[in-house]
Structure 1
Amino acid sequence: MIVFKKIFNFYIRSSIHVALSVYALVCMTHYMFHIKDNGVMAWFAFFGTIVGYNFVKYDALARAKKRNMRTELKLIALLSFISLLGVGFYFFQLKLITQMVSVLVLGLTLLYTLPFFPNKRNARNWAGVKIYIVSLCWVGVTLVLPLLNADVPLGLDFYLKCIQRFILVFVLILIFEILDMANDDPHLQTVPQQIGVKRTKIVGLMLLLPFYFLEFLKTDFIEKQLIVNLVLVMSLSFFLAFANEKRSKYYTSFWVESIPVFWWLMVVFF
């Protein structure tokens, strides 16, 4: 049981689980826009997420050298290196325009992590902007890049899906911010810190309304998708409604981050 818990914690802490969520959202994009893909884009996003998230989480720790590298951190570093090789392998299989935009997304990630200006905090610590930067990165990786790589015309459906995907990630992050409220620096000015937990939940629930009803505006309208999206909205509403500072870390790091995977599996089996 102890061994299983260590393996599970490594799975979470090494960002494999969140990378699986990104992989699922890329697959959802392929499904929604009828893209036949050999997996290049999805695996590029998967490995890129492991590298990006581990860099964001452990870069400051590595540079500060506040503690010796534990075995788990060494394994995470090894996994990140292997994933970096995977990113490079799949990067050169992408089209030029996709490569260029992916570099821009990388730049946004670095801005989020590293202080580019002397005596200034990184974007991660800029008051109130963290949630928007992360949401934009997810939209870029899981929606924009796959469509660019498949030469899909960026029409009305694209813009509607951008809004929907942004809302989805935004609401997911709201749940994280509610649970992290007690530990977050007050200067971050996260949404719950600014308007309170109750109002944050109301905002999240209200945002799920346009997320659902924007589906009706698509030119390629699929009735079954409405049922799938309804289940997704209900699941998100449940997790948002019951989110609080006393919840276990697995509430968000596993269950909430499983929602994109659950969404994709509903499509696969439905």
Structure 2
Amino acid sequence: MRIFKTILDFYIESSLHVALAVYALIRITFFKLNIPYDEPVAYFGFYGTIVGYNFIKYDELARIKKVELTTKFKLIIALSVLSFFASVFYFLQLTFFTRLIGILVLLITILYTLPLFPKRENMRNWSGIKIYLVAIAWVGVTVVLPVVNKELDFSFEIAFKCFQRFLFVFILMLLFEIIDLQFDATPLKTIPQRIGIQKTKFINYLLIVFFLLLEFFTPNFNGNQFVVSLLVSFILFGFTFFANSNRNKYYTSFWVESVPFFWLVLLLVFGQHF
């Protein structure tokens, strides 16, 4: 049991889980917009997420706090280095404009982690901005990159999908903010800090309904995909209902971040058979 927990902790803390969630969302974009599987985009998103998230999580620890290089930390560094070279390999296979989008997301990551000006806090610690930065970055990687790399026209349907994906990530981030309420510093002014858990849950319920309605009113409505989105909405409702600040880290860092997998599996297994 201890070995399983050690493996699970490494899987989560090395950002493999969140990278697979990003990969799943990219695959969902392929599926919903009828884009043929695009390996460079999918794997650039996967490996780039490992590099970006580990940079965000461990930069300050390594650069300022000088933490001890444990075996686990060394393995995470090794994984991040390998992922960096893999992401560069796939980055070079992307189109010119896709690379520009990738660089823009990289800049957001850097600004999120490092101070923009000397003796100023990074954007991660700017009150109320974190949740929007993360949602925008995820939309850029999981929707805009696949669309731009296939040189598709930016249609009304794609704009719908971008906004729907923004809502989806925003919903997940609100769950993280509820669970992290006991740990977040007061100056962050997260939504649960400002309005409380119950009102935050109510907002999440409304956003989930809106997320589903966007699927219903999207151009080229697909009944099968709507049923899948309805099931995903029920999953999000459940996670919101049971969320509280006393939940352990696995509630969000494993289960909530698994929702993209549930969504992809539902699309792949049931999407064509209703």
> Are the aligned partners of 2:38 and 2:146 in contact in 1 as well (CA < 8 Å)?
no
The aligned counterpart of 2:97 is 97
8 Å CA contact retained: 2:172, 2:256:
yes
What residue is the counterpart of 1:72 in the other structure?
72
Between the aligned residues of both structures, percent identity stands at: 49
SS at match of 1:181: helix
Q: Matches of 2:217 and 2:183 in 1, distance apart? A: 40
Alpha-carbon deviation of 1:218?
A: 2.2
Whole-Å separation in 2 of the counterparts to 1:64 and 1:196 = 33
Give the residue type in structure 1 aligned to 2:210. Answer: P
Answering whether residue 8 of structure 2 is matched by residue 8 of structure 1, we say: yes
TM-score, normalising length: structure 1: 0.98
Aligned position for 1:161: 161
Kept in 1: contact 2:179–2:246 (CA 8 A) = yes
CA distance in 1, matches of 2:67, 2:223: 54
Structure 2 CA distance, aligned partners of 1:263 and 1:107? 29
Q: Which residue of 1 aligns with 2:57?
A: 57
Q: Distance in 2 between matches of 1:11 and 1:70?
A: 16
CA positional deviation for 1:41? 0.7
Query: Residues of 1 paired with 2:67 and 2:84: CA distance?
Result: 24
Judge conservation of contact 2:139–2:166 (CA < 8 Å) in 1.
Answer: yes
Counterpart for residue 244 of structure 2: 244
The alpha carbon displacement at 1:39 in A equals 1.6
Residue 192 (str. 1) matches residue 192 (str. 2): yes
What letter corresponds to residue 70 of structure 2 in structure 1?
R
The CA deviation string for residues 36-68 of structure 1, in whole angstroms up to 9 with x for no partner, is 124211111000000000000000000014421
User: What runs of 5+ residues in structure 1 fail to find an aligned partner?
Assistant: none
Q: Which amino acid aligns with 2:113?
A: T
Other-structure match for 1:110:
110
Aligned residues: 270
**What secondary structure does 2:247 align onto?**
coil
CA distance in 2, matches of 1:48, 1:265: 23
Distance 1:62 1:221 in 2: 48
Whether 1:175 and 2:175 are equivalent positions in the alignment is: yes
Deviation >3 Å, runs of 4+: none
Q: Which of 35-44 and 186-195 deviates more? A: 35-44
Could you state the TM-score of these two structures normalised by the residue count of structure 2?
0.97
State whether residues 40 and 94 of structure 2, in contact with CA within 8 Å, keep that contact through their aligned partners in structure 1: yes
Q: What runs of 5+ residues in structure 2 fail to find an aligned partner?
A: none
Cα distance, 1:259 vs structure 2: 0.1
RMSD between superposed Cα atoms in Å? 0.8
Distance in 1 between residues matched to 2:209 and 2:194, nearest whole Å: 22
CA distance in 2, matches of 1:42, 1:226: 24
Displacement, 1:119? 1.2
Q: Which residue of 1 aligns with 2:226?
A: 226
Give the Cα–Cα distance (whole angstroms) in 1 for the partners of residues 216 and 269 of structure 2.
Answer: 22
